[in-house]
Amino acid sequence: MVSHRTVGRLSLYRRLLNGLAGQGTRNVYSHQLAAMAGATPAQVRRDLMAVGYMGSSTHGYDVSELTKSIGNFLDDQTGQAAALFGIGNLGRAILSYFTGRRPNLSIVAAFDVDENKIGRVIHGCRCYSVEELETVARENDIRLGILAVPAAAAQNVAENMVRAGFRGILNFAPAPLKVPAGVYVEDIDMTMSLEKVAYFARQGARLQAAEIVEQENSRVLETAKGDQQ
Amino acid sequence: MVSHRTVGRLSLYRRLLNGLAGQGTRNVYSHQLAAMAGATPAQVRRDLMAVGYMGSSTHGYDVSELTKSIGNFLDDQTGQAAALFGIGNLGRAILSYFTGRRPNLSIVAAFDVDENKIGRVIHGCRCYSVEELETVARENDIRLGILAVPAAAAQNVAENMVRAGFRGILNFAPAPLKVPAGVYVEDIDMTMSLEKVAYFARQGARLQAAEIVEQENSRVLETAKGDQQ
DNA sequence: ATCACGGCGTGAATAAATTCACAAGGAATT
DNA sequence: AATTCCTTGTGAATTTATTCACGCCGTGAT
């Protein structure tokens, strides 16, 4: 079983590869991907073991082949549909963010409790009442949900999703969801992230004097001696 | 040095504690916090070691005292100011999300390149041109930035932040930032997160038959036998 | 042809994070 | 006052994640 972290990085590598392909690069070495991704070459190679594609020791990885292999690993070839819950400021931003990004992972429906929104089409996505969830989900084979409702409503909506057969939830609400085993929840907790930034920004300032020097040394070393030999 | 993960969870515990305080709860045990946070009791206790507040073995933790201690640990008592970069859909959503949440960690300025936005006030927050960054940052003592610009512009804006003395960046742009040591970057990569959900939702479905049973057993065990004895 | 170089894949080692498990202690009960 | 129960804090063990380091293999230079 491939780890949580690895899957995340594979998604990142793929995006980087797309960038490379866009600028005409044909092949890439693990240390280049690592530099772009903020990882080590060994980590990149270890992660790529999961997808099964093997590079060449002389030309590294073929950009388009590797992209394809990561796609085979990460994506559902039949495509997966997602639904958005909560069409407030954040919901709309999410909708516009994801619209037209990945063809086989798209938001096909939105749900809200606000009467005014129901029936309207926002960013090419029709809004439904939450009551229609089961029907809409069944008809469109939706199993992924993006939760952008107020924290107080989150658990309740999540339970509706589970009841409608959802298998994965991307949760933006600052509330820990309780879901049965077999349903995967990924949290995006902006408050927590901002507080982390605030904390480590202060720490960083405190460390500036002493430890940074050491950090820089180790980084230089890493770059200089590279991965091996 | 306290770990990345621990700081994140402390932020979460604090939010949960606020919820408890709101409903009048006066004290709480590690296993309760753990259940709410989706962690283990041992983990909660381990994390709390970092803040230095000690609970009582009979009444657990005093909710308000613990909240205060976590605050002392996480927060800057003089307060920290943040700036938002990029006032698109996402930027506005972020602004409304954070407005009025934490008094000593607030967004006090916004920057954009769009002429139409400059000078306006959105969600109580004035918009400036990026050219004014150094001045505004100095005057308001801003050292934290929230980056919500298009990926292509992200690195450039980040460099401006660094030049203006920023020490922490919350990065929503799907682009890995290169910043000098001493500047802390926390990424929120919505695409990556959604792809993770899609991947593990599929996996979960696949495992449903066999492994879930085992998972449920272990969860039951965990809950039943608790932490010890 | 031979050699040296540089990168890949991966077993083994290391580091980091989590969990176990137990001494210690306060309250309730006997 | 002794006993029981349930908790905390934390050293030690375990699990998970990352990094090291080496065998192997094409390629280009000698």
Say if residues A11 and B192 touch (Cβ distance below 8 Å). yes
Contact: A198, B89; criterion CB under 8 Å = no
The reply to whether A59 and A119 lie within a common domain is no
CA of B74 to C1' of C27 (A): 33
Residue bearing tokens 């929120």: B188
Query: Can you read off the two tokens belonging to residue A209?
Result: 């004097």
Which residues have CB under 7 A from strand D? Answer: A 3-6, 39-40, 42-43, 45-46, 56-58, 222, 227-229; B 29-31, 41-42, 45-46, 48-49, 53-58, 60-61, 226-229
The reply to whether A133 and A119 lie within a common domain is yes
> How confident is the model over A6-18, as pLDDT tens digits?
999 999 999 999 9
Per-residue pLDDT at B22 exceeds 70: yes
The reply to whether A69 and A86 lie within a common domain is no
> How confident is the model over A45-69, as pLDDT tens digits?
999 999 999 999 999 999 999 999 9
| Last residue of one domain, picked from the residues A18, A40, A74 | A74
| Last residue of one domain, picked from the residues B23, B58, B74 | B74
The reply to whether B123 and B142 lie within a common domain is yes
Q: What whole-number distance in Å separates Cα of residue B198 and Cα of residue A80?
A: 7
C1'-nearest nucleotide to the CA of B28: D7
The reply to whether A86 and A143 lie within a common domain is yes
Total domain count, chain A:
3
Range of the domain at A206: 192-225
The reply to whether A177 and A93 lie within a common domain is yes
Per-residue pLDDT at A220 exceeds 80: no
Per-residue pLDDT at B220 exceeds 70: no
pTM above threshold 0.85: yes
Instruction: Reduce the DSSP state of residue A81 to 3 states and report it.
Output: strand
The reply to whether B135 and B180 lie within a common domain is yes
The secondary structure of chain B as a DSSP string is ---HHHHHHHHHHHHHHHHHHHTT--EE-HHHHHHHHTS-HHHHHHHHHTT----BTTTBEEHHHHHHHHHHHHS-TT-EEEEEE--SHHHHHHHHHHTTS-TTEEEEEEEES-TTTTT-EETTEEEEEGGGHHHHHHHHTEEEEEE-S-HHHHHHHHHHHHHTT--EEEE-SSS-----TT-EEEE--HHHHHHHHHHHHHHHHHHTTTHHHHHHHHHHHHHHHTT--
The reply to whether B97 and B174 lie within a common domain is yes
The reply to whether A54 and A93 lie within a common domain is no
> How confident is the model over B137-196, as pLDDT tens digits?
999 999 999 999 999 999 999 999 999 999 999 999 999 999 999 999 999 999 999 999
> How confident is the model over B81-98, as pLDDT tens digits?
999 999 999 999 999 999
Q: What whole-number distance in Å separates Cα of residue A25 and Cα of residue B100?
A: 47
Of B99, B131, B98, nearest to B112 (Cα)?
A: B131
Q: What is the CATH number for B89?
A: 3.40.50.720
pLDDT score at A210? 41
pLDDT score at A167? 96
Q: What whole-number distance in Å separates Cα of residue B51 and Cα of residue A113?
A: 41
> How confident is the model over A144-188, as pLDDT tens digits?
999 999 999 999 999 999 999 999 999 999 999 999 999 999 999
Of A181, A88, A207, A130, nearest to B1 (Cα)?
A: A207
Which residues have CB under 7 A from strand C? Answer: A 29-31, 41-42, 45-46, 48-49, 53-58, 60-61, 226-229; B 3-6, 39-40, 42-43, 45-46, 56-58, 222, 227-228
The reply to whether A67 and A131 lie within a common domain is no
pLDDT score at A225? 41
Q: What is the mean pLDDT of residues B101-107?
A: 91
Q: What is the CATH number for A63?
A: 1.10.10.10
The reply to whether B206 and B179 lie within a common domain is no
Residues in Cβ contact with B213 at an 8 Å cutoff, skipping those fewer than 6 apart: none
